Copies of this chain bind each other. A is one copy, B any other.
Amino acid sequence: MNLTATSPSAEIDSDLHVDARLWAGINPEPARRLLLAALKSFASRGFHGTTTREIALLAGVSSAGLYTHYRSKHDLLFQISRASHEFVLRELQKEFVIEGTPTQRLVRLVRAFTAFHATHHTAARVAQYELRSLLPDHFAVIVNVRDATEKVVREAIRLGVVSREFDVDDVDTTTVAVLSLGIDVARWFNPSGPLTPVQLGDRYAGLALRLVHGAAPAKSVNSSRTETGLAS
């Protein structure tokens, strides 16, 4: 396992079609073809490095044809980002409402969140990296979905703290760390690596449990702080 698994020339479209549910709302078929062409282009050359002409060409659609389905290149990015963000929110919400202990719920959430970012690493990477390229109105819509996603994980951790099943110093930092671990999978995951998305999801669920269960020995942190003169 390596954090630099993908070389510059590596194939980037391995996950474009892996879970048809992700793009199920994008119809008719030429609209979906254009969206996948945009995704592939944004992933390899970035949003600002891609033209609508190149997207239309890759999709085998005329430029005029592109504009019957999308208003602009920004619109294409928004649809990619919205489909990805709403898909992962729905997945987490489904896991959240299943009966179980806080530990069981967190395991299910982290497993689903990690597996999504591994399986759909190209879509997730574009959704994350190009957040700043969204138009302000589009950005506001995506931020709402992201806030809702973050809220599901925070609430799962909070409920475990309330029931004393979890022992967490700071719910906010732990929430950010759990989400961050999952999101960053989209950056480094390599489908030809040693772990499948589901296997990685299981390992990361185990790590998330360590974050909420295991109390760090304050003694060691403090002694180290003193040692490096960083005591506050």
Contacts and interface: CB of A to CB of B under 8 A. Distances in A.
Contact of A230 (B139, B198, B209): B198
Contacts of A210: 210-211, 213-216
Contact of A217 (B108, B179, B213, B223): B213
23 contacts: A4-B147, A10-B132, A45-B46, A46-B48, A48-B48, A48-B49, A100-B224, A104-B224, A107-B220, A108-B228, A169-B203, A173-B207, A174-B207, A176-B188, A198-B230, A202-B221, A206-B221, A207-B211, A209-B216, A209-B221, A210-B213, A211-B211, A214-B215
B203 A150 contact: no
Interface of A: 1-4, 6-10, 44-50, 100-101, 103-104, 107-108, 111, 128-129, 131-136, 139, 142-143, 146-147, 150, 169-170, 172-174, 176-177, 179-181, 183-185, 187-188, 195, 198, 202-207, 209-211, 213-217, 220-221, 223-225, 227-228, 230
A103 B173 CA distance: 21
A170 B3 CA distance: 16
A220 B104 contact: yes
Nearest to A103: B220
Given A173-B203, A217-B209, A180 B179 contact: no
Given A49-B48, A146-B3, A131 B220 contact: no
Given A180-B188, A209-B217, 17 more contacts: A6-B131, A7-B132, A7-B139, A10-B132, A45-B49, A47-B49, A104-B220, A107-B220, A108-B224, A129-B129, A170-B203, A180-B184, A183-B184, A184-B184, A207-B211, A207-B216, A210-B211
Nearest to A205: B221
A164 to B, nearest CB: 14
Contacts of A108: 224, 228
B221 A3 contact: no
Nearest to A195: B173
- Of listed A205, A211, A224, residue having the most chain B CB within 10 A: A224
A184 B146 CA distance: 16
Given A210-B210, A217-B213, A204 B228 contact: no
